[in-house]
Every structure is written in structure tokens, then in C-alpha cells.
């Protein structure tokens, strides 16, 4: 039987190093590796090709994913999962490494329940919002993309004595905004996980402006849904001209950092070895308390991800 890899859901830097590691590791074990293009949709549409060293040369430094990704409503219908299964059977593939998030893992859990196709999930999302793991592929690169953007925005903010309201991605998780706020020295941090007090924040900022402050950085998580409100508050209550910058999908791109590459190598090696050594596997490899381990899909879906409380404490000065 053979082994395959696919990406599902949003792309993230680190996926290409993971794909490279997957192919090389499979070949070392004399396994036939396959690449599934276009995620779950490609699984249904039979976009599955054998891979060699040549297919993954010169990709470790590239952002995104060379095998592309997708979200699929069709996969949640049994008839399409059956088609996907028959495509795999024709190629004698019974093991899949899945780079994705909790939604992708739930879909694959159902696939395993239906047809016993073994898989190991590798947490891959810049949102870093998967319960059970402290780290997901792509997070470090996204944080560095945000860092560069904030540093550049600070230059123009100080030149024009302005406030900039910068919106980061993250869905309903404020991890990216929180860490970016802390490490950039922002004055305001707005995330879903923390209550904020605009009255006291405004009094503090006005006092600082009277003492010579010439610019202000406000980092807002998209999940808070108050970006425009914060911009109006800065202008009307704080009295500083404000500009809004929505970083958007730039945060998913960029060459993967050294750390994301290294984590991709480690995650994927463990995933491949698990699939080759266990007759039955439908688990996710996670990084928890500085160690790698395997957990069940049920564990991943049992709770909502919570940001490290110590990080939340560091944001105290930026919310009230």
C-alpha cells in the first residue's frame, strides 16, 4: 500500500517544507509517496499523483503550498467521500498525512469511520487556534510578517503624528494580535479573549500625548469586530488622527521562517513514522509543553483553544 499527503483549509507557511519532508521520509522507507492536489476537493476529483525527489526540490523556502488547498462542502456528503475512497483504493493508498486545522481533522475522522483510511493530522494554521497543541505550522512566519508591517507603519505614524489601527487575522482567536501587540510595544490591544476599557485607555493616551507622545499603535484582532469603532474612538475621544490598516492575507504568505521549517520537519517525520508503524491511526501530532505527542480527534474537538494566561497578563496595560 502507498502513502499520500494533502493540505486542507487555509494555507500557511511551513506546508512546503512539510511536503518535502514527507516525500523524502517515505522514499527512505521504500514507500511510494503520492501528492493530493487541491485538498479534499482534489481527493474527490482524483487529482492524485506519485511524487519523487524532483517534485519537492527547491520548495523548502517557498510560502503557501505547491499542492494547493481547498475547503470542501462536497466531502461532507457520503457519496463524495465514497468517490474519494475509491480513488485512493485504485492507487492502493491507505495512509494520508493531512496538513490542516480542526475542521479538516473532523472531516478526516469521518472518512476513517467510513472507510478506515489511516491518517495523521499536522496542525497547520496561522490562527494557532487548535486545542491540544501549543503551536501550529505557519504561526511564526505570520507573526514575522505582521512584525515587519507594524515596524513600517510605525515609521509613517511617527512622521505624521498619527494613530494607526492595525487589524490582524485569526478568526475568533486573538493570538496573532496579542503576541504582535506585546512584541511591537503597541499602546492598545483588542482581542476577543480580553475585556477592554476605552475610557481608561483614552485617559492614559491623552495624558501621554500631553507629555509628548506623537503616535499610537492599536492592534485589533479581526474576531473582535470593532476595528472601525476603535478608529472612531481614537479620533473622537483621544483626539488623534487615525488610519486603519487591514493586513489581510499578506499574513498567510511569505517565505517560512527557520522555526516554521524546523517544526515542519519534526511534525511530518513523526506523522510519517506513525503511519508506517501503526496498523490503525486516526490521530493528530501536537506540540505541547515543548514535547511532541499524538492525540485523538476527539481530544482536539473536546474543548476550545485557550491562549496561555501568561500572555494575557502581559497585555494588561493595553486593554485598560
Q: Which residues are catalytic?
A: 127
CB-based contacts of 99: which residues, under 8 Å, 6+ apart? Answer: 5, 6, 7, 8, 15, 18, 19, 65, 121, 122, 124, 137
Of the candidates 84, 85, 96, the residue with the CA atom closest to the CA atom of residue 26: 96
Amino acid at each position: 500500500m502507498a502513502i499520500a499527503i494533502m493540505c486542507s483549509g487555509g494555507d500557511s507557511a511551513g506546508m512546503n517544507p512539510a511536503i518535502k519532508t514527507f516525500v523524502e521520509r517515505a522514499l527512505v522507507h521504500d514507500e511510494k509517496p503520492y501528492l493530493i492536489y487541491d485538498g479534499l476537493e482534489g481527493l474527490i476529483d482524483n487529482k492524485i499523483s506519485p511524487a519523487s525527489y524532483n517534485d519537492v526540490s527547491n520548495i523548502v523556502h517557498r510560502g503557501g503550498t505547491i499542492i494547493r488547498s481547498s475547503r470542501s462542502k462536497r466531502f461532507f456528503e457520503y457519496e463524495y467521500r465514497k468517490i474519494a475512497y475509491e480513488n485512493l483504493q485504485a492507487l492502493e493508498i491507505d495512509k494520508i498525512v493531512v496538513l490542516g486545522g480542526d475542521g479538516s481533522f473532523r472531516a478526516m475522522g469521518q472518512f476513517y469511520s467510513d472507510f478506515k483510511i489511516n491518517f495523521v493530522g499536522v496542525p497547520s494554521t496561522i490562527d494557532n487556534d487548535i486545542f491540544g497543541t501549543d503551536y501550529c505550522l505557519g504561526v511564526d512566519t505570520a507573526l514575522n510578517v505582521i512584525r515587519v508591517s507594524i515596524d513600517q507603519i510605525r515609521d509613517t505614524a511617527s512622521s505624521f503624528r498619527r494613530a494607526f489601527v492595525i487589524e490582524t487575522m485569526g478568526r475568533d482567536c486573538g493570538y496573532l494580535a496579542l503576541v504582535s501587540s506585546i512584541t511591537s510595544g503597541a499602546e492598545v490591544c483588542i482581542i476577543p479573549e480580553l475585556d477592554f476599557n476605552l475610557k481608561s485607555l483614552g485617559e492614559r493616551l491623552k495624558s501621554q500625548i500631553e507629555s509628548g507622545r506623537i503616535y499610537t499603535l492599536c492592534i485589533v484582532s479581526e474576531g473582535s469586530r470593532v476595528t472601525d469603532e476603535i478608529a472612531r474612538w481614537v479620533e473622537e475621544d483621544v483626539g488623534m488622527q487615525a488610519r486603519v490598516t487591514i493586513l489581510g492575507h499578506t499574513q498567510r504568505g511569505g517565505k517560512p521562517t527557520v522555526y516554521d521549517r524546523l517544526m515542519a520537519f519534526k511534525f511530518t517525520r513523526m506523522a510519517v513514522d506513525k503511519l508506517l508503524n501503526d496498523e490503525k491511526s486516526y490521530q493528530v501530532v501536537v506540540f505541547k509543553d515543548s514535547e511532541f505527542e499524538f492525540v485523538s480527534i476527539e481530544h482536539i474537538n473536546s474543548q476550545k483553544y485557550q491562549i496561555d494566561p501568561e500572555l494575557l497578563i502581559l497585555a494588561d496595560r493595553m486593554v485598560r
